């Protein structure tokens, strides 16, 4: 691969994938988003369009810039549409089998042998995904944070096989093209941010589970007592309780430390489909716009 990255692919058009696609399109890049079927691809387009409209309403983006960004996006259900991409970012759910299957397929589909295959995984080993390909040297972790258009941080995670060239390409892409700030992590569960964040969130879940304090009081305590912009249970709802549980399970599997074990209440809420803001109810309730309502647990 020569020159700067201009053609990007994103696999997965959910909350994270849509955000990654949006920032790429806003940066002027030719961006293709791949979903499982036409319905999901349409939903991904709607997700990006709604986010761009919010940015316009809030004065963060000119209307013409939003229209131009949406015009740079192609939504498809065929992985073969990513054949000419210089960088592909995988952003599907935290399911190791699904992710390894995608990387094995991308390794055969993406034509440029120097193209970089990146994963937005929150906690899974980059090495495992790299070894699903025949070119583990071009696989790297590129972990964005939600909401991607707002939060400025990206973690770059290199496995034992990741080449210095692949790491340099994604770092330049994140910093110069997208305007993000990069921190580096070794290939360990949770990387830097989630290895610190998840035990904090789980401690808040355990406190609510024990009846020691309500979800509202826990969040208010951390917001007003520690100057956090969002309390831990509201933050867990924003991330998605299923994602929090998946990251906790990955951390516990690797380190076997009790502080990483997902509490029973969290597991039951995931089983019940109470996943937080995206389902309208988690530790708090939310309206159709995602605005905070009453306490849910």
143 is catalytic: yes
Residue 113 included in any domain: yes
Q: What is the DSSP letter of 275?
A: -
Domain boundary among 136, 164, 186: 186
122 is catalytic: yes
Is 170 found in the same domain as 30? Answer: yes
Please name the residue that has the structure tokens 């790491």: 167
Burial of residue 215 (CB within 10 Å: 0-12, 13-18, 19+) is buried
Is 273 found in the same domain as 142? Answer: no
Is 179 found in the same domain as 223? Answer: no
CATH, residue 45: 3.40.50.720
Is 125 found in the same domain as 20? Answer: yes
Predicted pLDDT of residue 72: 97
Residue 200 included in any domain: yes
Is 289 found in the same domain as 164? Answer: no
Cα–Cα distance, 116 to 167 (Å, whole number): 9
* Spatial CA neighbour of 133 closest among 155, 110, 157: 110
Please name the residue that has the structure tokens 């258009």: 149
Cα torsion 33, 39, 45, 51 to 10°: value is: -120
Set 135, 143, 161, 284: catalytic member:
143
CATH, residue 245: 1.10.1040.10
Q: Count structural domains, the chain.
A: 2
Set 194, 246, 250, 284: catalytic member:
194
Is 273 found in the same domain as 148? Answer: no
Is 148 found in the same domain as 51? Answer: yes
CB 15, CB 240: distance < 8 Å: yes
Residue-range definition of the domain harbouring residue 214: 193-295
Domain boundary among 124, 159, 186: 186
Set 51, 90, 120, 122: catalytic member:
122
Is 163 found in the same domain as 237? Answer: no
Is 127 found in the same domain as 175? Answer: yes
Residue 1 included in any domain: no
* pLDDT tens series, the chain, 297 aa: 556 899 999 999 999 999 999 999 999 999 999 999 999 999 999 999 999 999 999 999 999 999 999 999 999 999 999 999 999 999 999 899 999 999 999 999 999 999 999 999 988 899 999 999 999 999 999 999 989 999 999 999 999 999 999 999 999 999 999 999 999 999 999 999 999 999 999 999 999 999 999 999 999 999 999 999 999 999 999 999 999 999 999 999 999 999 999 999 999 999 999 999 999 999 999 998 778 875 544
155 is catalytic: yes
Domain boundary among 186, 206, 222: 186
Q: DSSP H helical segments within the chain, as ranges?
A: 15-26, 38-57, 63-71, 96-109, 126-130, 164-172, 193-210, 215-225, 232-239, 241-255, 264-271
Set 155, 159, 246, 284: catalytic member:
155
Is 239 found in the same domain as 152? Answer: no
Flag whether the pTM goes above 0.85: yes
Q: Which two tokens stand for residue 164?
A: 């210095």
Is 134 found in the same domain as 14? Answer: yes
């Amino acid at each position: 691969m020569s020159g700067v990255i201009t053609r990007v692919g994103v696999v997965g058009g959910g909350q994270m994938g849509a955000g990654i696609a949006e920032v790429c399109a806003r940066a002027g890049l030719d961006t293709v988003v791949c979903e499982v079927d036409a319905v999901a691809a349409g939903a991904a387009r709607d997700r990006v369009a709604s986010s761009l409209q919010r940015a316009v309403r809030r004065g963060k983006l000119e209307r013409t810039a939003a229209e131009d960004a949406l015009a740079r996006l192609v939504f498809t259900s065929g992985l073969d549409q990513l054949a000419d991409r210089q960088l592909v970012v995988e952003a599907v759910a935290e399911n190791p089998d699904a992710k390894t299957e995608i990387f094995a397929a991308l390794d055969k589909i993406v034509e440029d042998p120097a193209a970089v295959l990146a994963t937005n995984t929150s906690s899974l080993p980059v090495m495992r995904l790299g070894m699903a390909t025949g070119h583990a040297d071009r696989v790297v972790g590129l972990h964005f944070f939600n909401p991607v258009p707002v939060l400025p941080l990206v973690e770059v995670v290199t496995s034992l096989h990741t080449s210095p060239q692949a790491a340099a390409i994604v770092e330049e892409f994140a910093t110069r093209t997208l305007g993000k700030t990069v921190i580096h992590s070794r290939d360990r569960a949770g990387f830097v941010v989630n290895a610190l964040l998840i035990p904090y969130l789980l401690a808040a879940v355990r406190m609510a589970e024990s009846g020691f304090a309500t979800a509202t009081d826990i969040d208010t305590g951390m917001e007003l007592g520690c100057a956090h912009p969002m309390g831990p249970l509201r933050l867990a709802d924003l991330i998605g309780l299923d994602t929090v549980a998946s990251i906790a399970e990955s951390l516990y599997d690797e380190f076997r430390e009790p502080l990483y074990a997902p509490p029973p209440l969290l597991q039951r809420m995931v089983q019940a489909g109470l996943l937080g803001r995206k389902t309208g109810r988690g530790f708090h309730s939310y309206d159709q716009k995602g605005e905070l309502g009453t306490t849910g647990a």
